[in-house]
Structure 1
Amino acid sequence: MLAEDVLKREPIVLTQAQRQHYFDHGYLHLDGFISDEWMQRLARVTDRFVEDSRAVTHPDRVYDLEPNHSAEAPRLRRLNQPAELDPVYREFALEGPIVDLAEDLLGPDVKYHHSKLNFKWASGGEEVKWHQDIQFWPHTNYSPLTIGVYMNDVTDEMGPMGIIPGSHKGELFDLFDEDRNWTGAIRESELDRVALDDVVWLKGRRGSVTVHNCRIVHGSEPNRSASTRPLLLHTYASADALPICASIADGFPLANTIVRGKPARWMRFDPRPCLIPPDWSKGYSSIFALQQSEAAE
C-alpha cells in the first residue's frame, strides 16, 4: 500500500503526525512503548538463551558469538531468528503490540519477514557500520520496515542506533567492496554522499521502540559502557511486497507469515532498482561477521 493510502486509514496506536514523520524522515522513536509485563517476559526468555550460550563454542544457526566468547564470560552478538526459537518471542512477533504499529505504517495487510536479537555486549560490543537493510533481502517494493525494542535502557555510551533522517528517499548504496566482496557496509569512499552531520542517535529507556524504513542509512558505534545493549528487531512488510531472490529468512517456517489482514492478490513493484545480494542459500552468518570480514559459519 502506498503512503498516501496508509495515511487515509484511521491509526491504531500512532498519531497522524507520527505516521507523517515516518514517511517524511524514514524513522520513528517511541519512548516506553512496550509494557513492563511484556518486557519482563522477554527478559526472562532472553536470560535463558544467554545462559544456554555458555555451552556453545562456535557460531551456529542460533547463536552468533564474538570471537572472545567463553563459558565463563558469554559474549553474544546475535540470537538468530528468535521468533522461531521460543513461544514468547513468537507471540510477541506475530501478535504483540508492535503488530499494531506495523499496521499503522504498512496498511491493513501485513506480513512478518524475520527477527533477530542484537546484543552489543558490554565493554566493546562491536559497531555496526553505515548500511541500508533492503540490499540484504530485496523485495518488489520498499515498504519493509524494522521495529526495534530496547531490552535495557540505552545511553550514549552504549552504541545506540544512529539514523540519517530522510536518507530513505535518497541513494541506494552498493554494499560490495571494490573487489566485489560483500561487506554489508557502505564504502568509506562513498560516505561523503551521506549526510553524517545530520545523524540522530536513538537513545531511550527500556521498552522504547525504534522504527526504520528498509532504505534508510543507519549504523551504531561500539558499546563503551559496562552494560549490555540488547536490541530485539522484527521486520515486517506490506503483503504486496514479495521477496525477489534468496533471502536470509529462507527456510524458516514463520518467514512471510501474514500477521494482519490477508495475502495480497497483486504484487506492487517500485521502479527504483535494488542491489542483488550474494546467494544466501550458501550460508549467512550475520552483519557483524560480514562487516568484520569473518567467514560464514
Structure 2
Amino acid sequence: MTPEEILAIKPKVLTQKQREFYFENGYILLEKLLPDEWIERLRATTDEMVDKSRGVAKSDAVWDLDKGHTRDTPRLRRLSSMNDHHPTYWEYAAGPRSPLPDAIADLVGPDVKFHHSKLNFKWSKGGDEVKWHQDISFWPHTNYSPCTAGTYVFDCTADQGPLGVLPGSHNGPVVDQYNDQGQWVGCMKPEDAAAIDMSKVVYLEGPAGSVTIHNCRTLHYSKANWSETPRPLLLNVYSAANAMPYTYNPLQSRYYGAVVRGKPAQWAYHDPRPCLLPPDWSGGYTSIFALQQEEDWSKERKVAAGGMM
C-alpha cells in the first residue's frame, strides 16, 4: 500500500499527524506508549533472561556476550529471537492486548506480518556502539514496508546510547554495507559515514514504555553506553503482509512469517527500487555488533561463501 492509501484508513493507535510524520521522516518516537502493567512485565522478563545468561560461557546463536561476561557479573550484547525464549515477549509482539502491532498496522497497513526479534543490550560502562547502517540490506524484501520497533523497558537518556536517526534518509539511496575487501560489515564505509551532517541527526531518548519505530531504509546508529546503567532495547521487526523476503532470515524464529494483524496476502507487492543483497546467512550468523566490529572473520568468510568453507 502507498502512504496515501494507508493514511485513508482510520488508525487504531496513532494520530493522523503521527502517521504523516513517520512517512515524511522515516521514524517516529511514541513516548510512554505502554501502560505500567506492560513495562513491569517486560522488565521482569528481561531480568529473568539476564539471570539465565549466567549459565552461558561463550557466545552462540542465541546469546551474544559482551566482553567481561561472567556468571557473577553478566554482560550481554544480544539475545537473538527473544520471542522464542519467553511467552511474555511474544504476547507483547503479537497479542490482542498489546498496542504494538496495532501501531505497526497504522504505518504499514491493516495486514501485518512478523519477521524477527532481538533484545539488544548496551551494557553499562562501554556497551558497544552501533555504526551507521540501514536495516533492509540485512533482510531484503520485495518492498520497503518493513520497519523496526524498539521498546525501552527502562528510561533511555542521552548518555546511554539512544537511537540516532537521520530524518528523511528513507527516501534516499540504499547504501553499500560491504567493506573495501568485499566483506559484509553491516554498516556504511567510514568515509560515507563521515559525510553525514550530524547537525541533522535526531536522538530518540525516552522514558520507560516508549517505542521507537523506524523504516527499514532509514539511516541510524547509536553511541556506546558509558553510563552506569545498561540499556536493554526490545526490537521487533514487522512488514506489510505483501512484503516477501528475498533471502534467508538470519534470525530464525518459530514465529517467522506469522500474521499478527489482519490476514495473509494473496499477492506480493514489488517496489521497483533496487536493494543491496547480503551474504548467504544460511551458513550462520553472529550479530550486528560482531559484524561491525569485524570479529571472527573466519566465520564471516564461511557465511559469505554460502557455508562451504
TM-score (norm 2): 0.94
Question: Which of 240, 243, 251 is 2:242 aligned to?
Answer: 240
Cα contact 1:138–1:244 (8 A) shared by 2: yes
Gaps of 5+ in 2: 301-309
Alignment of 1:212-227 (within 5 A): 212-227=214-229
Cα contact 1:120–1:223 (8 A) shared by 2: yes
Offset from partner CA, 1:78-132 (integer Å, 9 cap, x none): 1111111111111111112101101100111110111111110001000000000
State the secondary structure of the residue aligned to 1:119.
Answer: strand
Question: Which of 184, 188, 213 is 2:190 aligned to?
Answer: 188
Question: Counterpart of 2:20?
Answer: 20
State the secondary structure of the residue aligned to 1:206.
Answer: coil
Cα contact 1:249–1:255 (8 A) shared by 2: no
CA-atom RMSD, angstroms?
1.2
- The one-letter amino acid paired with 1:86 is H
- The one-letter amino acid paired with 1:197 is S
Q: CA deviation at 1:193?
A: 4.7
State the secondary structure of the residue aligned to 2:231.
Answer: coil
Question: Counterpart of 2:11?
Answer: 11
Q: Separation in 2 of the partners of 1:83 and 1:162?
A: 25
> 1:231 and 2:233 equivalent?
yes
Offset from partner CA, 1:11-49 (integer Å, 9 cap, x none): 111110100000000000011111110111111111111
State the secondary structure of the residue aligned to 2:136.
Answer: coil
State the secondary structure of the residue aligned to 2:29.
Answer: strand
> 1:275 and 2:273 equivalent?
no
> 1:137 and 2:139 equivalent?
yes
Offset from partner CA, 1:43-97 (integer Å, 9 cap, x none): 1111111011111111112211113211121100011111111111111111121
Q: Separation in 2 of the partners of 1:261 and 1:128?
A: 34
Question: Counterpart of 2:266?
Answer: 265
State the secondary structure of the residue aligned to 2:248.
Answer: coil
Aligned residue pairs, count: 296
State the secondary structure of the residue aligned to 1:234.
Answer: strand
Question: Counterpart of 2:117?
Answer: 115
- The one-letter amino acid paired with 2:121 is F
State the secondary structure of the residue aligned to 1:99.
Answer: helix
State the secondary structure of the residue aligned to 1:44.
Answer: helix
Question: Counterpart of 1:34?
Answer: 34
Alignment of 1:71-110 (within 5 A): 71-95=71-95, 96-110=98-112
Q: Separation in 1 of the partners of 2:156 and 2:234?
A: 13
Q: Separation in 1 of the partners of 2:276 and 2:80?
A: 24
- The one-letter amino acid paired with 2:14 is L
- The one-letter amino acid paired with 1:19 is R
Q: Give aligned-pair identity as a percent.
A: 50
Q: Separation in 2 of the partners of 1:192 and 1:230?
A: 27
Q: Separation in 2 of the partners of 1:171 and 1:189?
A: 16
Q: Separation in 2 of the partners of 1:233 and 1:79?
A: 10
Q: Separation in 2 of the partners of 1:195 and 1:146?
A: 23
- The one-letter amino acid paired with 2:247 is C
Question: Counterpart of 1:176?
Answer: 178
TM-score (norm 1): 0.97
- The one-letter amino acid paired with 2:110 is P
Gaps of 5+ in 1: none
State the secondary structure of the residue aligned to 1:230.
Answer: strand
State the secondary structure of the residue aligned to 1:148.
Answer: strand
Q: Separation in 2 of the partners of 1:113 and 1:26?
A: 19
Cα contact 1:55–1:71 (8 A) shared by 2: yes
Q: CA deviation at 1:195?
A: 3.3
State the secondary structure of the residue aligned to 2:170.
Answer: helix
